[in-house]
Structure 1
């Protein structure tokens, strides 16, 4: 018996003798002695934890503030030391275990298991820190190590779990490993889905791939809605039209799916839509057209600047401007594109910090596509659709002002008009 254990037993004996001197004897004195010791151990554990935490964390913060390197800042950010400090109460409990007599072995085993568990949690965060530090180097974009670190985490948790079970059962970890090895084939067959789900759960959590409330889209399973539940084997998704879709957990790791969380966090929802302009309506702007366009607020300054620029260029090059083919001239489609750019730029519902683009795509059999590529600053679906409809309502209504036409396949109305014109012309000819 060492000096520390002797001192603890002496303390227990003093408390018990004092209780007996107060008239409390027998089982009640033993029970109250244990209660007093439990309270004492809790107080000592809490005080030491607070002291160590304040000293260590403040020292690390001061060191990180002075240091020019980033690794210490990342260690603090990932709270590696805060997790390690949680070992202190377990060490205190382990040290005071002899004071509880026959419960000593059980208390020490539980305390030791807790210490191993805390070390595993700290190791988990330490590996995250290694990945964060590694991510600051250019090589990380070519050779990421997240997968390897996840394998190390799984191995660490498996070994830690075996050690904890061995301590609780008072068996050698090697004996447990041998037993598991002999039954591994049966275990893999029986618990195949559970193992796949467990590994998938670890990967989903570590990579922050999906969380409750995320809106995901997985066409293979017919999923297009909000994640309502994540369990060992399945992930439940409530679609936009309210049915519940169940997806195997491992499918989210082994297959591709779309998570709209990034869009919500960014604060912008993309519009990418084209309007096809009839090629036969594209032409150079006449003086009458330019005079009319100068009264349009969004392109007034554009028209004035462009006219000066083109006139200066044509004069400098000595171009005969009597023929529109010579030199530079404004076109109605280019002016329309400038109008749409300024309209989008001044729209209150368009995100100012994200890409705003109005571009002309390659002509097709359906005309010249003018694509609007912008982000709405409201990610709520209904609001987004309303903004998108409002923008294109305006653009389609304003197109005729630029002497342009939207391409549209002939309808029954068009054919009827053609027939009426033909009949009218035929009647006029006969007359």
Structure 2
């Protein structure tokens, strides 16, 4: 309404001027077109070099992060493009008004160009909002990019409807009313988008996954860090630097592991076992106990356990058999040593569970499991701590008279045949 009223005022002024002028109609039209272009160019320079710089300067003084996001996405620069188009849209259709068909075509083309620039400006503003949310860390808790993409998609459809209404010279309300018929088609075509949007809301509401989380989803071959959460996909950079794109709804419909809780806890779990040969498990003699007492980590345990065993054995009859007496075993001492070793290790988290336990015996021996947490979650350091721990376990095991279980190899069979007597 404002545009048409302004056009009427301009048209009245121009008609008055053209009726009193000395130039013919064609020449006057060309002159007015040139003047309109010059006026549009002047408006562009004023908007670009004055108003845009002024707004950017004001934003920089008041909110620097917002100013950087707006400047990087060149939001105000789109205003400097919109200004000359508005000027041309007001004057050009009036100047060439006596050419009805040409005036109608130019009017519609300029209206569509203005609409496209407005959509472009909205898109840039949404990108600036997304960048600001990333800067503020909001994207770690909420998939802002998914909402931005959804608004962009909705804005695109609105732009298409308005463009069609401009070309058809019909009110947009009539076209919007016909969208109900196409709802089923839209649901079919944009099924993944709709599912992704719903999944994004669920992921955000339940805080199932955020940016920089380490997730593992074996069914899709994903095991790495979340780099991007969009409307329909989630981008995961695996530890071998490959990229896996996951559908957003797959994280809701299927099971996956989010290791972020481990990363935030400050400790990463060690659950590794060493299989001990059953045939190497036995009671230890007094001489062996005396030798093991030299190990500083075992002295307290041997002293307390020996006192407890002596008190128990003293209650037995003098002629009782040895099987009724309690005695120390090499695997028990070894388990106590490992437990003390873990408590004394500076690389093991002392405020989390530390345990050395026996598991169910298997054909491969008796598993002795170390259950503890490192004081770091960094993968490289974690593997180094774990390797150093089991290096020590395997190296010190012979001092307790224990052997790790290992299946026979071809070398073992060859060595056994050479050691057989010649007459066999």
Whether the TM-score (by the shorter chain) exceeds 0.5 is yes
What is the distance in 2 between the residues matched to 1:319 and 1:347?
44
Deviations 1:353-408 (A, max 9, x none): 21111001111111111011111111111100000000000001011000011111
Retained in 2: the 8 A contact 1:284–1:324?
no
From 401, 423, 426, the equivalent of 2:422 is 426
- The residue aligned with 1:256 is 255
What is the Cα deviation at residue 320 of structure 1?
4.4
Alignment of 1:30-429 (within 5 A): 181-318=180-317, 320=319, 323-422=321-420, 425-426=421-422
What is the Cα deviation at residue 319 of structure 1?
5.7
Partner of 1:317, secondary structure, is coil
Deviations 1:45-66 (A, max 9, x none): xxxxxxxxxxxxxxxxxxxxxx
Whichever of the two has the greater Rg, that structure is 2
How large is the RMSD of aligned CA atoms in angstroms? 3.1
What is the distance in 1 between the residues matched to 2:411 and 2:264?
47
What is the distance in 2 between the residues matched to 1:319 and 1:380?
58
What is the Cα deviation at residue 202 of structure 1?
0.8
Distance 1:278 1:319, change over 3 A: farther
Partner of 1:210, secondary structure, is coil
Retained in 2: the 8 A contact 1:221–1:247?
yes
- The residue aligned with 2:140 is none
Q: TM-score, normalised by structure 1?
A: 0.56
Unaligned 5+ segments in structure 1 are 1-153, 155-160, 170-174
What is the Cα deviation at residue 416 of structure 1?
2.6
Q: TM-score, normalised by structure 2?
A: 0.57
What is the distance in 2 between the residues matched to 1:212 and 1:382?
22
Distance 1:176 1:288, change over 3 A: farther
What is the distance in 2 between the residues matched to 1:243 and 1:320?
72
Retained in 2: the 8 A contact 1:319–1:326?
no
Q: How many residues align?
A: 263
Unaligned 5+ segments in structure 2 are 1-146, 148-153, 163-173
What is the Cα deviation at residue 326 of structure 1?
2.1
